[in-house]
Structure 1
Amino acid sequence: MNAPTNPSRRNFFRQMASRFDPNAPAVAPWSLVPEVNAGDGDVLWSGWTGQGQVFVVGDEGRVLHFDSHPETQRLGWQLMDVPIRQPLHGIWGRSPNDLHAVGWMGCILHFDGKQWQSVQGGVVDNDQGRFTACTENTPLFAIDGNAAGEAWAVGDNGCVLHFDGTHWQPETSGITTNLRAVTCTPGGHVYAAGNDGSVIRRDEHGQWQVLDCPHSSGLHALLVLGEDELLLAGGRYFVDQGGFRGELLRYADGCFTPLTFDTPLPRLRALRAYKDGVLIVGDQGRLFYLKDNQLKQLECNTHHDLMDIIPLASGEALVVGDFGTVMTAAPEFVHALAPAATDETTSHWQIMPSATERQLWGITQTHDGTCYACGDAGTVLRLHHDVWEPLPAPSELPVHCLWSCPGSGLFAAGQEGRIFRFDGQHWQLHFDLHLDLTILALWGTAPDSIYAVGDEGLILHFDGLRWQRMPSGTTSALYSLWGLDDAHLLAVGDFGLVMRYNGDNWKDFNAGTEQFIYGIWGAALDDIHAVGLSGTLTHFDGQRWHAVPARVQDDLLAISGSTSGVFAVGTRGCALHLEHGSWQRETTPTSEGLRAVCATAEGTVYAVGDRGVILRRRAP
Structure 2
Amino acid sequence: MTSRLLQAIALNTLLAILFSAALPQADLAPIAPASSGAWQCWPPSQANPCRHHLAGVTLLSANDGWAVGGMTGHGAILHWNGIAWSDVPNPANGSLTAVDMLSPHDAWAVGDQGDMLHWDGQTWTQHPPANTLRLASVSMIASDDVWAVGYVFWQRYWAVVVHWDGASWTDSTVAGVNQKLTAVDMLSAANGWAVGNQGTILRWDGNKWTPVASPLAASLKAVDMLSPTDGWAVGAEGAILHWNGVLWTQASSPTNADLTSLSMLSAADGWAAGSGGVLLHWDGAAWLVAPSPTTGGLLGIDVLPGGSGWAVGSGGTRLQWNGRAWTAPAGEAAVDNLRAVDMLTVNDGWAVGDAGAILHWNGLDWARVAGPATAALRGVHMLAANDGWAVGDAGATLHWDGASWAQIPTPTTKQLNAVAMLSASDGWAVGQEGVILHWDGQAWAVVAGPTTRHLFAIDMVTPIAGWAVGAQSTALQWDGSAWRELLPPAEDDLRALDMLSAFDGWSVGRRFTIAHWDAHRWTQVVNPSNLDLVGVRMLSPSDGWAVGNWVGANHFFHWNGSGWNEAPIPPSWTVAALDMVSATDGWAVGDNGALLRYITPPASVSFLPVIRR
TM-score, normalised relative to structure 1? 0.43
Structure number with greater CO (CA < 8 Å, separation at least 6) is 2
